Amino acid sequence: MQFVFRVFFLLLLAGGVAVGATPAKPVVTGAEQTSLYVPYLKGKRVGMVVNPTAVIGGHSLVDSLLRLGVKITRIFGPEHGFRGNASNGAHVADEVDSATGIPVISLYGARKMPPPQDMAAIDVMIFDIQDVGCRFYTNINTLRDIMDACAAAGKELIILDRPNPNDYVDGPVLDMKLKSGIGQFPIPITHGLTVGEFAQMVNGEGWLKDKQRCKLKIIRLKNYRHGMDYTLPVSPSPNLNTQQSILLYPSLCLFEGTIISQGRGTYMPFTVLGSPALKGQYEFSFTPESIPGKSESPLHMGQACYGLDLRKFDTAPLRKAGRINLSWMIELYKAYPDKARFFDQSYSKQMGSIDKLAGTTAFRQQIIDGKSEADIRRSWEPGLSNYKKMRLRYLLYP
């Protein structure tokens, strides 16, 4: 027995035995492996699709590459802007970055793709944005648009890969009749891919305009395995400001199609749920206020919202099971006194209807009809299982 234990221990130290989802060595992001791509950039005009999550050792990737002699001629900023100081859904204008003097071209608003004149100003494009693994998180839409632009201009796209903090597959596959800005691909709510893997899926499934293919160079992660726990070093957006909010986001973002506040307008967004109409049914409360850079006009602004405090909710069982949580939606619908207003379109059209968020018209009616979570999940088949099989073709990591 002692011999067996000793062999197991040695294998564990060597990384040969997986215990839970804990890595034997720290994950090294694509961006951190500069020796694999900086020499390749020498002498080239470089465009960068980045936001504040593009960091190396706590420092901006843009600043780090400039110090290494890389010639950056354009920066392209997605939702929230290059510096991350724009609220969700806010228009972001073109500007010149005050710290570097580099033109920053906004890709959030009327324009989704880099203009031809800006593509002509680069030789190669870099994409380095931390994703959170959800269909309705708009970074994957930006990735596809960048791939379209690069394919059309004949430019190579270098993806500096980062881990997926919600690395599991769950939810209904999007009915493409409901395609919108918060759902553009026939994938489930959580897709179980890194950005690099998702880019391979976009190419492989013919999701680019005219089924073009984008030339990709992916700087892979080191020491990464699917399903492992990973704490993001930088908040991916203003309203995902804690690890708990990131892990709850796949479940709580569905409430943007309801009259229930998810805590926007507080400093604990996506960790609480509530409404003024639930007073007397729940003791916990919070009051949304206007917060510049986070949420200027949140739902129920200035009103006490009563509901659920999920800041200390243990997400580990959900992640281990690879599931989003449907029980909160079921519970709060049952508790809400004016059920005709629960999926209130006058509010949800601001962020996206529940149908577009869920990716199916069935989900809303299932909640109204009082269907169980098990019944709802059964309705996601066979689409979910078929997606899981398709996904296997694009994996870069075990």
CB 188 within 8 A of CB 384: yes
User: What is the mean pLDDT for each group of 10 consecutive residues in the chain (398 residues)?
Assistant: 35 34 79 98 97 93 97 86 53 79 86 91 98 96 96 98 98 97 97 98 98 98 97 94 98 96 97 98 98 92 98 97 98 97 71 89 98 98 98 98
pTM of the model: 0.90
Q: How far apart are alpha carbons 151 and 112 in whole angstroms?
A: 15
Q: How far apart are alpha carbons 167 and 89 in whole angstroms?
A: 25
Provide, for the chain, the percentages of residues in helix, strand and coil under a 3-state DSSP scheme, each rounded to the nearest 5.
35, 15, 50
Q: What is the pLDDT of residue 9?
A: 31
Domains with residue ranges and CATH for the chain: 34-231 (3.40.50.12170), 243-360 (no CATH)
Burial class (CB in 10 A: 0-12, 13-18, 19+), 249: buried
Q: How far apart are alpha carbons 214 and 151 in whole angstroms?
A: 5
**Residue whose tokens read 């996506």:** 270
Question: Judging by DSSP bridges, how do beta strands 95-96 and 55-56 pair with one another?
Answer: unpaired
> Which CA distances in Å does 356 have to 20, 51, 364?
35, 26, 10
Q: What is the pLDDT of residue 131?
A: 97
CB 21 within 8 A of CB 225: yes
Residue 170 parent element (H or E): strand 169-170
Q: How far apart are alpha carbons 129 and 76 in whole angstroms?
A: 11
CB 108 within 8 A of CB 77: yes
